[in-house]
């Protein structure tokens, strides 16, 4: 797979911004300098392991058990990126799962390993959220450069790298606009959030319903754009994506995991064997329709369960 966006970095260069998103539960992290994980050289190590995860909210009667002895292994595949989409009923624990991986939440008990190392409080994996999460009082350029600036990259160099990323996400010419609605459209604001997360060249990227607020046409365009970033990345990224849209899941993914709930378990797991390069024409193929129908029927079965 040819790649040109996610660039492998040396350990010393890698600094996760910790400012991936200024939503309320992450603002405390904004000024922290935090290392990002790098894929280890040599033998394959699992990308992520969730081991014996339990999540209980005991303030509820009866307690809300979201995860009970939950395990998940995301294996590394030699020379291949992975685009894994997690689906499941509302409230089953998808966002919680991403928060464990990102480091925004720790489970009641259990461990999270990233590339074979137990994660610590200082580890962060970038995450793109559904809400537009840019700093409205900063320009597009300042938003995208911010993770670099916070991590000590000199301003000129940070701006230069940010501009490269702004071009990649197709916001060239908008760099000096305020990153707020309606100065930028919803789709453009989501591109700013994606650019801000990609500018640090993450090996693993988490996306929680990032396109949920977009209109159908913009959503399809941004899916094509995200998929092309994945297809063309220089390293083998692992993207973990959450959506409620079956066609979005099929269009983007290499793998789909379906969670059931109460407590959450992986009910189904399957590969999407569509062409590596996916443009809009893929959506009209029989294989695409078959996958969407299959997924739709599995989701329908879940919804019909109490």
Ligand X SMILES: Nc1ncnc2c1ncn2[C@@H]1O[C@H](COP(=O)(O)OP(=O)(O)OP(=O)(O)O)[C@@H](O)[C@H]1O
Stretch that binds ligand X, among 74-82, 84-92, 115-123, 291-299 (CB under 6 A): 84-92
Q: Measured from the CB of residue 83, what is the shortest distance to ligand X in angstroms?
A: 19
Q: Measured from the CB of residue 254, what is the shortest distance to Mg ion in angstroms?
A: 21
The entry of Mg ion, ligand X, none near residue 93 (CB within 5 to 8 angstroms by kind) is ligand X
Q: Which SS3 state, helix, strand or coil, does residue 114 take? A: strand
Q: How far is CA 222 from the centre of its chain?
A: 14
Is 155 buried (19+), middle (13-18) or exposed (0-12) by CB count in 10 A?
Answer: exposed
Q: Pick one of 10, 31, 61, 90: the residue that binds ligand X (CB under 6 A).
A: 90
Closer residue to ligand X, CB minimum distance, 170 or 212: 212
Helix H segments across 83-233?
94-102, 140-150, 155-168, 186-198, 216-232
Q: Measured from the CB of residue 11, what is the shortest distance to Mg ion in angstroms?
A: 33
- Which two three-digit tokens encode residue 262? 């109460």
Are 247 and 227 spatial neighbours (Cβ–Cβ below 8 Å)? no
Closer residue to ligand X, CB minimum distance, 148 or 252: 252
Binding residue count for Mg ion, defined by CB under 5 A: 1
Which of 126, 142, 125, 143 is CA-nearest to residue 134? 143
Closer residue to ligand X, CB minimum distance, 91 or 173: 91
Q: Pick one of 21, 82, 95, 133: the residue that binds Mg ion (CB under 5 A).
A: 95
- Give, in order, the Cα–Cα distances in Å from 252 to each of 170, 194, 198, 227, 273: 19, 15, 17, 6, 11
Binding residue count for ligand X, defined by CB under 6 A: 11
- Contact positions with ligand X (CB under 6 A) in 96-125: 96
Strands 204-208 and 265-271: unpaired
Q: Measured from the CB of residue 95, what is the shortest distance to ligand X in angstroms?
A: 3
Closer residue to ligand X, CB minimum distance, 97 or 235: 97
- Contact positions with ligand X (CB under 6 A) in 21-80: 57, 64, 66
Determine if 245 is a binding residue for Mg ion (CB under 5 A): no
- Which two three-digit tokens encode residue 83? 């685009």
Contact set with Mg ion (CB under 5 A): 95
Residues that bind ligand X (CB under 6 A): 57, 64, 66, 88, 90-96
């Amino acid at each position: 797979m040819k790649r040109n966006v996610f660039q492998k970095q040396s350990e010393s260069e890698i600094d996760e911004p910790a400012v991936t998103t200024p939503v309320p539960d992450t603002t405390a992290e904004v000024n922290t300098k935090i290392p990002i994980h790098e894929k280890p050289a040599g033998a394959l190590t699992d990308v992520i392991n969730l081991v014996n995860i339990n999540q209980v909210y005991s303030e509820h009667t009866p307690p809300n058990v979201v995860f009970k002895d939950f395990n998940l292994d995301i294996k590394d595949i030699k020379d291949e990126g992975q685009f894994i989409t997690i689906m499941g009923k509302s409230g089953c624990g998808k966002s919680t799962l991403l928060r464990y991986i990102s480091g925004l939440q720790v489970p009641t008990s259990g461990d999270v390993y990233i590339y074979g190392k137990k994660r610590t409080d200082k580890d962060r994996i970038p995450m793109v959220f559904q809400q537009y999460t840019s700093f409205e009082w900063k320009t597009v350029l300042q938003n995208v450069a911010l993770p670099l600036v916070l991590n000590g990259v000199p301003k000129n160099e940070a701006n230069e790298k940010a501009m490269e990323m702004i071009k990649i996400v197709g916001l060239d010419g908008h760099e000096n606009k305020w990153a707020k609605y309606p100065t930028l459209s919803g789709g453009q604001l989501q591109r700013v959030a994606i650019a801000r997360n990609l500018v640090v060249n993450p090996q693993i990227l988490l996306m929680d319903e990032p396109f949920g607020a977009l209109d159908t046409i913009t959503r399809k365009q941004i899916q094509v754009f995200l998929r092309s970033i994945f297809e063309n990345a220089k390293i083998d990224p692992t993207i973990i994506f959450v959506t409620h849209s079956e066609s979005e899941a099929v269009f983007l993914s290499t793998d789909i995991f379906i969670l059931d709930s109460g407590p959450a378990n992986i009910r189904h797991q399957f590969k999407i064997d569509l062409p590596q390069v996916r443009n809009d024409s893929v959506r009209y193929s029989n294989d695409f329709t078959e996958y969407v129908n299959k997924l739709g029927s599995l989701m329908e079965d879940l919804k019909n369960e109490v």
